[in-house]
């Protein structure tokens, strides 16, 4: 059981998933830091811009993940 989980986490797609989760954690921490250090805090406009940029990043990241999955599936003949 533990070996199967380890194999999934150390596979290429597992690394994609873990790095995506890591980027989400870093983004949340960065929002927390910005909300406490900016003089006016994070207003709706700043937060909206940051979240929109992050969502664009996640969209491109997800597209790359699906493309990689398709390439990987075709190579396993």
Helix 44-75 × helix 12-37 angle, to 10°: 170
Measured between its terminal Cα atoms, the distance across the chain in Å is 27
Q: Residue 77 corresponds to which tokens in the numbers above?
A: 């003949």
What does the pLDDT read at residue 11?
73
Read off the pTM.
0.70
Mean pLDDT computed over every residue of the chain: 82
What does the pLDDT read at residue 53?
94
What does the pLDDT read at residue 3?
67
pLDDT band at 9 (very low <50, low <70, confident <90, very high): low
Domain extents in the chain: 2-75
Number of residues in the chain: 77
- Encode pLDDT of 30-65 as tens digits: 999 988 998 888 888 888 999 999 999 999 988 888
């Amino acid at each position: 059981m533990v070996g199967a989980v380890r194999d999934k986490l150390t596979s290429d797609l597992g690394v994609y998933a873990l790095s995506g989760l890591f980027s989400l954690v870093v983004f949340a921490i960065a929002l927390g830091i910005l909300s406490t250090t900016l003089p006016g805090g994070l207003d709706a406009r700043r937060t909206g811009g940051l979240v929109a940029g992050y969502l664009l990043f996640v969209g491109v990241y997800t597209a790359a993940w699906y493309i990689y999955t398709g390439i990987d599936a075709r190579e396993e003949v």
